[in-house]
Amino acid sequence: MPAGGFVVGDGQKAYPGKLTPFVLFTCVVAAMGGLIFGYDIGISGGVTSMPSFLRRFFPSVYRKQQEDATTNQYCQYDSPTLTLFTSSLYLAALISSLVASTVTRRFGRRLSMLFGGILFCAGALINGFAKHVWMLIVGRILLGFGIGFANQAVPLYLSEMAPYKYRGSLNIGFQLSITIGILVAEVLNYFFAKIKGGWGWRLSLGGAVVPALIITIGSLVLPDTPNSMIERGQHEKAKIKLRRIRGVEDVSQEFDDLVAASKESQAIEHPWTNLLRRKYRPHLTMAIMIPFFQQLTGINVIMFYAPVLFNTIGFTTDASLMSAVVTGSVNVAATLVSIYGVDRWGRRFLFLEGGTQMLICQAVVAACIGAKFGVDGTPGELPKWYAIVVVTFICIYVAGFAWSWGPLGWLVPSEIFPLEIRSAAQSITVSVNMIFTFIIAQIFLTMLCHLKFGLFLVFAFFVVVMSIFVYIFLPETKGIPIEEMGQVWRSHWYWSRFVEDGEYGNGLEMGKSSNQGTKHV
Ligand code: BGC
């Protein structure tokens, strides 16, 4: 038997394993870690458009909003403190994802998930009971710490747990939870905003306790991944777990490969500096570029500010929250499409199709807003059909994101890193994601005020760049076992020059190359 295990005709490995109820259950529970992230994304925009919330914490924004409706619509929400409220979370998440790298690597994926749940819970409570702006900010920082831990650990957990043939679909459970979190938060905002006495925002913010408890309890009942157990020297336990997860007795091939990958991993003392080695250049590039591009699609302009944006284009507060609910539902539904298609059509197809779709929509939305609002931001009377056209194209845009960059922005990084750099590289992905989420959240309102409808064209430009990047540089990763991913770089026209044969995945890859072309099934 080759050290590397089952090798099919084209030199690609195929480990035995089924989609067992156990693995399904485990992945569904773990994927719920995305709820906290999603809930927060969905809640912030709605809360910051509730007049009672603004009056209490951001009176200057509130006053500006009450002023004459003929003031420039592009600029009415331009307030640094308000954006700081939204963005502080992302800076906190960035820092904690770096800490999470060590926790995830040394103590397992579960512990990071547990920390994520507990910190998020604390933040939700402080926010729900907030009396002053500083309490809001402290609460948001704790929420951010929680998200940093969860987003670092959950995607890795899912990609390691899943049988490789279903890895895409199971991993996208994470993004599905994000979108469900967003939608639930938007629906709650819609109703809480109606509460007489104007304290509904407390329920919106405090409600984050629920998703926090789900991930906290989930992480207590879940097993750790076999990869992580082996990495921490628990070989026997890992083998038993692997049998249970895969639903087959003979898991020795996969097990041996995991052990080999872990030996390689153990030899690395400094995962961070290691990341800078030439052979990890493709991984580092993807760890940075994928989350960067994901944010440069401009999706969070819609997610955070949908109510604000819809307000700007002429809806009342109530109607704009409702439109946000519509975009939220499209987001969930379209994510289901990617769960269905990702392991069938592949990652590259979804990236390229989604990119084209987003591009067209951004151009149309920019044209619509430009035509009505001009450059001075005074729209005059807005006909109903106009608002419907804008919302429709925003929905088609959201769908494009939701089956491409949304889920793949988390899936692809989590499946391409070799074990020895996996945890550190994933932290980079989360940090870059958070930095750019922060930057966009921080400057969006100011950009809207200055660039006006041209803002959408800026994002459209980046969508073109990222699609070309994917086309040229991103290899297809569908159907390849996670500890075997080295082959996609070795056979890539550009990346092959960085990764030399035999340098990868310890003996397991060498074992495989000596058995190339043999059929051992
Ligand atoms: C992104 C978030 C975004 C969400 C929308 C996620 O994949 O990381 O920034 O708000 O998708 O569904």
- What CATH number should be reported for the domain holding residue 30? 1.20.1250.20
Cα of 410 from ligand 1 centre, angstroms: 9
Model confidence at 68, pLDDT cuts 50, 70, 90, reads low
Is 456 domain-assigned? yes
Is 2 domain-assigned? no
Q: Evaluate: CB of 76 within 6 angstroms of ligand 1.
A: no
The residue whose C-alpha atom lies closest to atom 3 belonging to ligand 1 is: 300
> pLDDT band at residue 353, thresholds of 50, 70 and 90?
very high
Residue type, 517: G
d(CA 179, CA 181): 5
Please give the residue range of the domain that contains residue 397.
Answer: 21-224+268-498
- Write the residue with the smallest CA distance to atom 11 of ligand 1: 406
- Res. 272: pLDDT tops 50: yes
Ligand 1 contacts CB of residue 185 (under 6 A): no
pLDDT band at 345 (very low <50, low <70, confident <90, very high): very high
Higher pLDDT, 386 or 475: 475
CA distance 264 to 241: 22
Question: What is the band of 329 on the pLDDT scale with cuts at 50, 70, 90?
Answer: very high
- 505 pLDDT above the threshold of 80: no
Q: Within a domain: residue 132?
A: yes
CA of 477 to the centre of ligand 1 (A): 21
**What are the residues facing 7 on neighbouring strands?**
13
How sure is the predictor about 271, in pLDDT bands with cuts at 50, 70 and 90?
confident
397: closest CA among 490, 298, 278?
298
Residue 444 has a pLDDT of 74
pLDDT at 261: 84
Write out the DSSP string of 441-491: HHHHHHHHHHHTTHHHHHHHHHHHHHHHHHHHH----TT--GGGTHHHHHT
Centre of ligand 1 from the C-alpha of residue 502, in Å:
37
Q: Which of 19-28, 441-450, 484-493 has the lowest mean pLDDT?
A: 441-450
Residue 2 confidence (pLDDT): 34
**DSSP secondary structure code for residue 77 in this structure:** T
The response to whether residue 331 sits with its C-beta less than 6 Å from ligand 1 reads yes
Task: Tell me the average pLDDT across 2-21.
Answer: 59
What whole-number percentage of the chain has pLDDT above 70?
A: 87
292 located within any domain = yes
Instruction: Dump pLDDT digits (tens) for 109-128.
Output: 999 999 999 999 999 999 99
- pLDDT for res 314: 67
Mean pLDDT for the stretch of residues 291-296: 97
Mean local confidence (pLDDT), 282-302? 95
Q: Torsions phi, psi of 268, nearest 5?
A: -90, 120
- Shortest CA distance to 93 belongs to which of 115, 125, 109, 126? 115
Instruction: With beta carbons less than 8 A apart as the criterion, state whether 325 and 46 touch.
Output: no
- Strand-pair partners of 13: 7
pLDDT at position 155? 93
Question: Is 411 within a domain?
Answer: yes
Looking at residue 384, its pLDDT comes to 75
Q: How confident is the model at residue 42 (pLDDT cuts 50, 70, 90)?
A: confident
Rounded to the nearest angstrom, the distance between the alpha carbon of 350 and the centre of ligand 1 is 16
pLDDT score, position 515: 35
Q: Is 504 exposed, middle or buried (0-12, 13-18, 19+ CB in 10 A)?
A: buried
Q: What is the mean pLDDT of residues 59-72?
A: 70
Q: Does some domain include residue 355?
A: yes
Q: Which residue from 36, 41, 184 has its CB within 8 A of the most atoms of ligand 1, so it is best to mutate? A: 41
Q: Using CA atoms, how far apart are residues 221 and 30, in angstroms rounded to an integer?
A: 10
With a 6 A CB cut-off, is 92 part of the ligand 1 pocket? no
Asked if residue 6 belongs to a domain, the reply is no
Question: What pLDDT, on the 0 to 100 scale, is given for residue 520?
Answer: 29
Give the Å distance between the CA of 433 and the centre of ligand 1. 9
Residue with CA nearest ligand 1 atom 4: 406
Q: Distance (Å, rounded) from C-alpha 385 to C-alpha 188?
A: 27
Looking at residue 368, what is its pLDDT?
84
Residue 343 lies in a domain: yes
Mutate to test the pocket of ligand 1, among 186, 300, 429 (most ligand atoms within 8 A of CB): 300
Please tell me if the CB atom of residue 400 comes closer than 6 angstroms to any atom of ligand 1.
no
Query: In the predicted model, what is the mean pLDDT of residues 182-187?
Result: 92
| pLDDT tier at 12, thresholds 50, 70, 90 | low
> What is the band of 363 on the pLDDT scale with cuts at 50, 70, 90?
very high
Number of separate domains in the chain: 1
Token output for 193: 């905003």
Check if 334 has its Cβ closer than 6 Å to any atom of ligand 1: no
Mutate which of 36, 37, 177, 444 for ligand 1? The one with the most ligand atoms within 8 Å of its CB, which is 37
CA of 300 to the centre of ligand 1 (A): 7
For the Cβ of 172 lying below 6 angstroms from any atom of ligand 1, the answer is no
Q: Which of 32-36, 235-239, 266-270, 362-366 is the least confident region?
A: 266-270
CA atoms within 13 A on the CB side of 184: 19
Judge if the beta carbon of residue 175 lies within 6 A of ligand 1. Answer: yes
pTM, entire model = 0.88
Ligand 1 within 6 A of CB of 409: yes
Q: How far apart are CA 251 and CA 235, in angstroms?
A: 13
Mean pLDDT, rounded, for 377-402: 82
Mean pLDDT over each residue of the chain, to the nearest integer: 85
Q: Could you give the CA distance from residue 467 to residue 452 in angstroms, rounded to a whole number?
A: 25
Greater pLDDT, 427 or 449: 427
Express each pLDDT in 226-267 by its tens digit: 988 998 889 999 999 899 888 888 888 889 988 888 887 777
Instruction: Supply angle C-alpha 422, 503, 225, rounded to 5.
Output: 30
